[in-house]
A and B are shown apart, each in its own frame.
Chain A
Amino acid sequence: MSSSANNEDLSYDVVVVGGGPGGLIAALTARHLGASVLLIEQNFDVGGRGVLSGGGAYLGGGTSLQRAEGIEDSPERLFQDWVRADSLLGRYNDREVVWAYANNSAATFEFMTEVGNVKWRPLGAADRLDTVKRRAFSLEWEEPAGQVVPGQFGSGIVRPLEKAARELGVHILLKHRMVSLHRDRDAQGAKGRVSKLAIVEVDDYFTPTGEVISVKARQGVILATGGHSGNVGFRRMFDPRLTEEYQYTGQNWAPKTADGEVAAMAVGASIWGFAGQTNESDGQLSKGLMGTRSNYHGLLWSVDSPHFFREKATGLKPSDYQNLVLVRESGVRFYDETAGVRDYDYFAAAMSWSGDPEKLNGGGPIWAIFDAEAVEREGWNVTPPNVDTDGFFFSADTIEELAGQIQMEYQWRPMPPGNLRATIERYNRCVDEGVDPDHQKPTPRFKIQRPPFYAAWHTPVVHDSYAGLRINGSAQVIDTEEAPIPGLFATGDCASGFTQHGLGRAFTFGYIAARAAVSTGQARTGSGPTSNKDGV
């Protein structure tokens, strides 16, 4: 489909914004119910963060896979697990949202299996708040071209949905993004339904290139835009520390710019679930990958990926933090480097005040400092494309020269060479003594001494979005007067009220949203199923 259509041009029953897991299942569900469906995706491919994921979805409450493995479960148990008051993952959840999830989770799973043709591995161990085995993991998609990140099984959960959606007649419009939503007003100016949206073609870096196109949505618009982690102004509503230096997971593949939230707020939508975003209970931040801009620890990009031109580097993953020290932009250590990937005390130290009155929020870059012996022990290749030498990885003959080399957009002031030298001299003495009186690193083991020396970007990376648009149990977006906005639905990370990592809630509310959009749309217009030919 081309963007060269006329400006009053496209009309569908349902328009889905975003081609990640929530958007794909919403599009497939709506089309399966007979609606004409357009799915808009800003990337050159669908899949969103789902195709980068491990392919695990919390879907239970009595699925066929659970029954086949002899697992007894029910919607009631699923609900009670995910609203547990003794856990930060459950305490703040919107129980209306979790109730709907619990009562639709199994049906979503069966739909994905029977209509979406998703193939599953045996259930994983019960984790997070699950008290029985629920989390279903897909097989990896067999065709390498569809994997994006080989080894990440998420390809096997989104590609079948994409295939089924295309075969059933969902129109997928790639490299287009939403600009705004239009909400009708009646003659008295009262707000009505969301009836259309404006979209625009974008290039490979998501920059608009074409004319704005208007798309009519007769039954509903379903937002599946992926969350807000990459919108600095938006994410700082929840955490003022998260200034511009903090990058986010999958940012160059599936930007999370809060475009869905912002567009919906402009037509009256309410933001919700703030506590879920700020309780530091799960995947809001991570550590563990370095030397590349988008440094989420769970994702190693393949140089063979068609997306790699944006990513530029795979990054380096430390297996043993005895091989490096972590310093702030000032060249000073700040915490025990061996801290885990979700240690929020570590993140708090990393993001604490830099001491510069010119930068009061955000802690600035964190750099991993190591030497040639560490490179040998870890077996790293410290040349591109393993590292991004365009600002995220530096090398030098001496420690002080290394400090001088660190110049990039987020290193707002030079790292004092004397600071870094003093840090390394002191750390090496800690290794001799076998104790770290400064930060209690256990058994400090290896000196940083043999040249050349390296500095790798190791700044905390933002991950999941849990706060976002308020939805009800039908995935309808709720306005600030606590009323549903007719014709507007949301799922996935742009929706809120449920602090659950991953794909399960995105799939479930995509399924719910599509069913609600089609049923309420048909009831409103008195129409039956629509041929997709009407949508062209």
Chain B
Amino acid sequence: MAAGQPEITLAVWGADGPAVVGSTLSVHVGARSRSGGSLAGQTVIVRGAAGHEVGSGKLGGNIWPGTLALWWTSVEVPVPAEPGLHVWHASVGTSHFAFSVAAVPAPAHTLTVTVFNTTNAEIEPLPGTHVRAGHHAATTDESGGAVLALPPGRHTVEAWKQGYGSVKGIAVVGSDTEISLVTEVIADKDPQYVREHWR
């Protein structure tokens, strides 16, 4: 263990956003002691940005699968009514770890984004493309499609995949809506890529 490492260190997971305003977020909080000894029964406190306690729990008697000595519990955290980014701190004793989530209005419609690869002047669905509209994100499936649950309004949609150019589009969502975007392989600075991607 390096100098400067606290006696207890934490992990927080399950803070997957966006979360609907006013809902409840269930996160996992795990703690590990420097020695690897049991921390079962120790209190976990979650505080908001202003320092007020919003949730708590006690570490259970089992370690998280795949870890050597991470004792964990679940904590329910109320999501504020105000949209936007919210940050909390989980703590065990004097150790802490910050986590966050974006709060959004309840979605009303779905936006289906289909991404096509037009490299080599062909049009093929592009799976594995990350699609984002503000706080909302999804990844395209084998058909090149991704579904975002969005509130009504005008949304800027961005699509990106490793090795391909980033592309943006505008979607006006007043009902369930579909749009398509096209992208293509970007020429890496490795000249070798010409051989690998272009026919």
Given contacts A338-B162, A342-B189, contact A397 B30 (CB under 8 A): yes
- Assuming the contacts A127-B191, A342-B188, A425-B98, asked whether A320 and B13 have C-beta atoms less than 8 A apart, the reply is no
Let me know if A322 and B162 touch, CB within 8 A. yes
Contact A397 B15 (CB under 8 A): no
What's the nearest-Cβ distance from chain A to residue B152, in Å? 19
Q: A127-B192, A320-B128, A432-B135 are in contact. Are A400 and B9 (CB under 8 A)?
A: yes
CB contacts (< 8 Å) of A127 on chain B: these are 191-192, 194-195
Q: Which of A42-50, A222-230, A259-267, A414-422 contacts B (4 or more CB under 8 A)?
A: A414-422
- Report yes or no: B2 in contact with A432, Cβ–Cβ below 8 A: no
Residue on B with the closest CB to A337? B162
Q: Which residues of A contact B5 (CB under 8 A)?
A: 400-401, 403-404, 417
Residues from chain B with a CB closer than 8 A to the CB of A282 are: 190-191
Contact status B158-A442, CB under 8 Å: yes
Q: Is the CB of A433 within 8 A of B85?
A: yes
A434 is an interface residue with CB less than 8 A from chain B: yes
For the complex, what is the distance from the CA of A113 to the CA of B147, rounded to whole Å? Answer: 55
The answer, yes or no, to whether A206 is at the interface (CB within 8 Å) is no
* Chain B contacts for A124, CB-based, 8 A: 195
Contacting residues, chain B, for A135 (C-beta < 8 A): 195
Pick the residue among A128, A398, A433, A442 that contacts B10 (CB under 8 A). Answer: A398
Cα distance, A341 to B193, chains bound together (Å): 10
Q: Which residue of chain A has the shortest Cβ distance to B67 in the bound complex?
A: A397
Chain A residues with CB under 8 Å of B189's CB are: 340-344
B191 contacts A428, C-beta separation under 8 Å: no
Contact mask for chain B residues 168-179; partner A; CB cutoff 8 A; 1 contact, 0 none: 000000000000
B17 and A399 contact, CB distance less than 8 A: no
Given contacts A127-B194, A372-B66, A432-B17, contact A443 B158 (CB under 8 A): yes
A279 to chain B, nearest CB (A): 12
A417→B32 CA distance, assembly (Å): 14
User: Are A451 and B191 in contact (CB-based, < 8 A)?
Assistant: no
The verdict on B58 contacting chain A, using a C-beta distance below 8 Å, is no
Specify which of B64, B68, B70, B99 is in contact with A428 (CB 8 Å cutoff): B99
Find out whether the CB atom of B30 lies under 8 angstroms from the CB atom of A398.
yes
Taken together as a complex, chains A and B put the C-alpha atoms of A320 and B130 apart, in Å, by 10
**Which of A286, A298, A321, A403 is the most central at the interface, judged by chain B CB atoms within 10 Å of its CB?**
A403
Cβ contact within 8 Å between A415 and B18: no
**Smallest CB–CB gap between B158 and chain A, Å?**
6
Smallest CB separation, B167 vs chain A (Å): 10
Instruction: State A416–B6 Cα separation when bound (angstroms).
Output: 11
- Name the residue among A319, A401, A434 with the largest chain B CB count within 10 angstroms: A401
A283 CA / B194 CA spacing, docked (Å): 14
Question: A267-278 toward B: CB 8 Å interface, digit per residue (1/0)?
Answer: 000000000000
Bound complex: CA of A56 vs CA of B9, how far in Å?
Answer: 51
- Count of residues in B whose CB is under 8 Å from the partner chain: 58
Least CB distance from A324 to B in Å reads 11
Interchain CB contact under 8 A, A433 and B162: no
A283 to B32, CA, bound (A): 44
Measured CB to CB, the nearest residue on chain A to B68 is A397
Contact: A443 with B130, CB < 8 Å? yes
A340 touching B3, Cβ below 8 Å: no
Q: Do A434 and B66 form a contact, CB below 8 Å, given A399-B9, A445-B139? A: no
B94, chain A: closest CB distance, angstroms: 13
B50 cross-chain contacts in A, Cβ below 8 A: none
Report chain B residues within 8 Å CB of A236.
Answer: none
The reply to whether the CB of B101 lies closer than 8 angstroms to some CB of chain A is: yes
What residues on A are CB-neighbors of B69 within 8 Å?
397
Are A447 and B190 in contact, CB atoms less than 8 angstroms apart?
Answer: no
Contacts of A126 in B (CB 8 A): 194
Q: Does A349 sit at the interface, judged by CB under 8 A?
A: no
The B86-144 residues at the A interface (CB cut-off 8 A) are: 87, 97-102, 128, 130-132, 134-135, 137, 139
Q: Can you list 20 A-B pairs, Cβ within 8 angstroms, ordered by A?
A: A124-B195, A125-B194, A127-B195, A286-B190, A320-B162, A342-B188, A397-B11, A400-B5, A403-B5, A414-B2, A421-B9, A425-B98, A425-B99, A428-B15, A434-B132, A443-B130, A445-B130, A449-B13, A452-B68, A452-B70
Closest 8 CB pairs of A and B: A404-B2, A340-B188, A342-B190, A342-B189, A400-B9, A398-B9, A449-B13, A450-B13
Query: Told that A125-B195, A127-B191, A397-B64 touch, could you supply 14 new A-B pairs with CB distance under 8 A?
Result: A124-B195, A125-B198, A135-B195, A282-B190, A342-B188, A397-B11, A398-B30, A403-B5, A421-B9, A433-B85, A442-B166, A449-B99, A451-B13, A501-B192
